[in-house]
Amino acid sequence: MSLILFESPLSSNAQKVRFLLAELELAYESREVAMFGVGTRTPEYLAINPFGLLPTLIDNDFVLTESNTILRYLAETKGGEELYPRSPKLRAGVDRMLDLLGCTMRPRIAPLERRRFANFPHGVRDADDERKIEGNVRTCLDGVEAILPPESVGGYACGPFSIADCAWAPTLRRLVEMELDLSEYPKIVNWVQQLLMRPAWQRSKGPDLDLRAWVEQ
Ligand SMILES: N[C@@H](CCC(=O)N[C@@H](CS)C(=O)NCC(=O)O)C(=O)O
């Protein structure tokens, strides 16, 4: 079996996949591609991933893009079936968390990450602008807190640990790094604590990020 992951330590979407690979104890070859259009827009990388985005997984001769699709594929094919349940209602719960992350949370939190970590727009910090963006993130967190199951059924996104947790971990980590006040969200706080303590996350999360240093180079 040969797995190759095109990734970057700065990519939250690649972190999801690294986390699942670590949970499944799967060996893979890591190929680092520089982000922010540097390595991702080269003809060589575009030939592998025409969107110029990370991550890309190659499983022998099968090339797969889209991080959540990669999570589903690895769970289904590499021994992680219990992490992506078959029963339609349980599966829908996991899919909901994957879609919620990609379609609702990421578009809201990415502008805040860019301002806090990447010093974008350069040299300009606007407290009102950041408060407004944080408000959008909080509206989504209100909903997440409302739908998270009680701690007694497992404490993860859908109760037991699943690929939804692998997907959310890098974004939850950013919430902590941004020091967002999470005190109104006891279920989210418990979820973050459980998730970020997992040995596979500790092994795969990579170094703490200093995007500002990278961007200013
Ligand atoms: N929907 C895609 C989004 C991938 C994505 O936006 N990746 C970012 C890194 S997290 C990227 O490669 N950006 C291009 C770049 O930095 O050059 C997925 O989930 O895989």
The number of C-alpha atoms within 13 Å of 34 and in the hemisphere containing its C-beta is 7
Owner of token pair 């922010």: 36
Residues listed for the chain = 217
pTM over cut 0.75: yes
Considering the segment(s) 3-82 as one domain, its CATH architecture is 3-Layer(aba) Sandwich (3.40)
Compute, in angstroms, the gap from residue 167 CA to the centroid of ligand 1: 13
- Between helices 163-177 and 106-117, what is the axis angle to 10°? 40
User: What pLDDT score does 57 carry?
Assistant: 98
Give me the mean pLDDT over the 145-169 stretch.
96
Strands 3-7 and 56-59: antiparallel
Alpha carbon of 38 to those of 10, 41, 166: distances in Å?
Answer: 13, 6, 27
Compute, in angstroms, the gap from residue 183 CA to the centroid of ligand 1: 30
Domain covering 85-198, topology: Glutathione S-transferase Yfyf (Class Pi); Chain A, domain 2 (1.20.1050)
E strands of 89-152, at which residues?
Answer: none
Give me the mean pLDDT over the 205-214 stretch.
65
Burial of 128 (0-12, 13-18, 19+ CB in 10 A): exposed
**Would the pLDDT of 217 be above 60?**
no
**Which residues contact residue 167 at a Cβ distance below 8 angstroms, ignoring those fewer than 6 apart?**
16, 67, 68, 71, 97, 98, 101
User: What pLDDT score does 186 carry?
Assistant: 97
Owner of token pair 């968390």: 97
Measured distance CA(80)–CA(27) in Å, rounded = 14
Nearest-CA residue for atom 13 of ligand 1: 53
Q: Which residues pair with 6 in a beta bridge?
A: 31, 56
Measured distance CA(110)–CA(118) in Å, rounded = 11
Q: For 104-133, what is each residue's pLDDT tens digit?
A: 999 999 998 888 776 665 666 788 888 999
The residue extents of the domains of the chain are 3-82, 85-198
Pocket test for ligand 1, best of 6, 13, 49, 69 (most atoms within 8 A of CB): 13
**Would the pLDDT of 172 be above 50?**
yes
Nearest-CA residue for atom 2 of ligand 1: 66
User: What pLDDT score does 215 carry?
Assistant: 47
Handedness of CA 123, 33, 83, 76 (dihedral sign): positive
Pick 192 or 211 by higher pLDDT. 192
Give me the mean pLDDT over the 170-198 stretch.
94
**Would the pLDDT of 50 be above 70?**
yes
Tell whether omega for the bond before 121 is within 30 degrees of 0, i.e. cis: yes
Q: For 20-42, what is each residue's pLDDT tens digit?
A: 999 999 999 999 999 989 999 99
